[in-house]
């Protein structure tokens, strides 16, 4: 399987509303989280583990939205 990362043309062609940086901290506000939840809904999990990760992310994002808070991803 070919890696698709920020420097590959395939990655740049994908239209994403939000991006989590792998080597830096990323924080989303409530508005950005609504976009993130929509993207997660369109994400096709390839296996059970990925489905579990998407579910946990969706629940965390929805919880932050409900609390008018933020969701922080710690890179590195």
- Structure confidence by residue, pLDDT tens digits, 38-66: 999 998 899 999 999 999 999 999 999 99
Q: Which CA distances in Å does 50 have to 30, 45, 47, 72?
A: 24, 5, 5, 20
Domain boundaries, given as residue ranges, for the chain: 17-73
- Structure confidence by residue, pLDDT tens digits, 25-34: 999 999 999 9
Q: How confident is the model at residue 6 (pLDDT cuts 50, 70, 90)?
A: low
Cβ-contact 17, 64 below 8 angstroms? no
pTM greater than 0.85: no
pLDDT of res. 22: 79
Cβ-contact 71, 25 below 8 angstroms? no
């Amino acid at each position: 399987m070919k890696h698709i990362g920020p420097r590959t043309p395939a990655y740049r062609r994908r239209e994403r509303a939000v991006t989590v940086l792998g080597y830096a901290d990323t924080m989303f506000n409530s508005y950005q989280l609504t976009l993130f939840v929509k993207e997660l809904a369109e994400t096709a999990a390839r296996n059970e583990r990925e489905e579990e990760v998407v579910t946990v992310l969706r629940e965390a994002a929805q919880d932050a939205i409900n609390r008018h808070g933020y969701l922080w991803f710690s890179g590195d």
